[in-house]
Amino acid sequence: MTGKRLRWMVLFTVIVGTFLGRLDQTIVNLAIPKVIDGFGITVSAASWIVTAYIIANAIFVPVWGKLGDTIGRKKIYIFGFSVFILGSVLAGLAWNLSSMVIFRIIQAVASSADYPTAMAIIAITFTDSKERAQALGIWSSSFAAAAVFGPLIGGPLIDTFGWRSVFFVNLPVGLIGLYMAMKYIHESVSAVKTIKFDWWGATSLGVALAFLVLVLDQGMTWGWTSGASLMCYVMIVVSSAIFGWIEHHHPEPIVDFSFFKNRTFNAALLNNFVVFLGMMASVFAIPIFAQTFLGYDATQSGLLFVPMGLCIPLSAIVLGRYLLAKFPPRSVIFWGTLGAAASFFFLSMLDPRSSAWSIIWPLSLMALFMGSGMAQRTNLVASSVPPSEIGVASSILALVRNIGGAFGIAVFGTLISTFAQNNVIAIAKNSIIHATTQAQYKTAIALISLKAQVLAYSQVYVISSIVVAIGAFAIFIIKKDDANKKSEMTKEEEMMAEAG
């Protein structure tokens, strides 16, 4: 197999692993109602099946990134993939809530090894800057595609074979991906060897992330000012302060704070946070709107995302490659983010009379714009740090992406609820109800509530369009010369990559 063909097979291999891990994360959400019935548990209890996964996944991403750079990215990737397959089978065999949560944590810990090692493997494999940018963009698009196709694939699987099938399906696909990893991926390690691993830093960061994800996931249920939420805030601040102190004094910190002195790195992170905040929030909110106000079922709601799922990789492959050759990275990222912001504004025009097309075309537009900038954004992060620390840098990018998505869902959910309540009061104050019967009065009240909720979605999408538009300007933290400089690896870095 030629060198070029081998490089693209490596890319395809890590895409299989990344897509499978992210698909599992979204597809399981559809199975929760069936799991509730099967185990005879409450909705509140079942939420821990999802929450435990998110927390465990967030905690271990930085650990795997550092270990991959140290002991070998292929070793960590294959280990994580193997344990993920095992955890999937165990989750499919779970007999009660406790066993399910334990097996989901095993899945999450293993799945968190994928992102930092996969990105490092791609960055080391593709030494040519333009090829690497395109490869990273195509790979990044698999995250969004998995989030979109999860509901589409999950619905028929659950309806036909039951909820356990969403776990068992990982076995055959996972074994194929594992075989490909062993065959095509070459081992690579950092040129800088870790002598003393930063376990205390990893622990304190894990505690901070655990409480952050927990309050984002449960805060709306608990109340953002409840005792449980306040305890989470305190733990986040205290553990973050401890983590910062440890990292400043440890000779080999798990997160090198010098990264954050790099304007290119910071700009790419901030822009990535905003983009995924908007995307995950929209993926979260659209099915609820479609099923609540348009009368769609779960399968019909999933079909709305098919064009979006096709547009993201198409844009990353075609537009990303074309734009990279014609324009500087920061310009592509800026206009891509601004275009995504415009798509949110178009979604604010939805109402109960909207057709499926009214949802499909703004989502597809958002996908095209987001996909066009994925290659450049991911490549800027990979190119702004030494090859010896790509795993750590990519783990930070993963954290920012996951936290951005969690913030988006939490903020969207809270704002929709708050705006709906306020809108009911405002509309009622300015309405005159001409009702002569109790039935007419109930109908009028229902219409006020309906209008209030629809208006809430519109208001939130307008706000999100403004936030994402502002986030587009974050990329201008990078000077034009910096962007051009960072898009190319130096000869010294290429030699280090090849030596790794």
Half-sphere exposure of 191 (CA within 13 A, CB side): 13
Which are the contacts of 395, defined by CB distance < 8 A and separation ≥ 6?
61, 62, 64, 65, 66, 115, 116
| Total-model pTM | 0.69
Structure tokens at 267: 């700009």
Instruction: Give yes or no for residue 298 having a pLDDT over 70.
Output: no
Model confidence at 217, pLDDT cuts 50, 70, 90, reads: confident
Q: Of all residues in the chain, what percent carry a pLDDT higher than 90? A: 7
Instruction: Give yes or no for residue 12 having a pLDDT over 80.
Output: yes
Average pLDDT over residues 118-127: 80
Model confidence at 409, pLDDT cuts 50, 70, 90, reads: confident
Cβ–Cβ under 8 Å, residues 11 and 134? no
Cβ–Cβ under 8 Å, residues 406 and 213? yes
Nearest to 116 by CA among 28, 25, 260, 17: 17
Instruction: Give yes or no for residue 236 having a pLDDT over 70.
Output: yes
Which CATH number does the domain 3-197+252-499 belong to among 1.10.3720.10, 3.40.50.300, 1.25.40.850, 1.20.1250.20?
A: 1.20.1250.20
Model confidence at 44, pLDDT cuts 50, 70, 90, reads: low
- The DSSP line for 1-37 is --HHHHHHHHHHHHHHHHHHHHHHHHHHHHHHHHHHH
Q: What is the pLDDT of residue 141?
A: 73
Cβ–Cβ under 8 Å, residues 216 and 407? yes
- The DSSP line for 425-494 is HHHHHT-----SSHHHHHHHHHHHHHHHHHHHHHHHHHHHHHHHHHHHGGGGGS-HHHHHHHTS--HHHH
Tens-place pLDDT, residues 329-343? 778 888 888 888 898
DSSP-based three-state secondary structure for 173? helix
Instruction: Give yes or no for residue 445 having a pLDDT over 80.
Output: no
Structure tokens at 133: 């940018």
DSSP state of 185: P
Cβ–Cβ under 8 Å, residues 330 and 464? no
Q: What is the pLDDT of residue 17?
A: 84
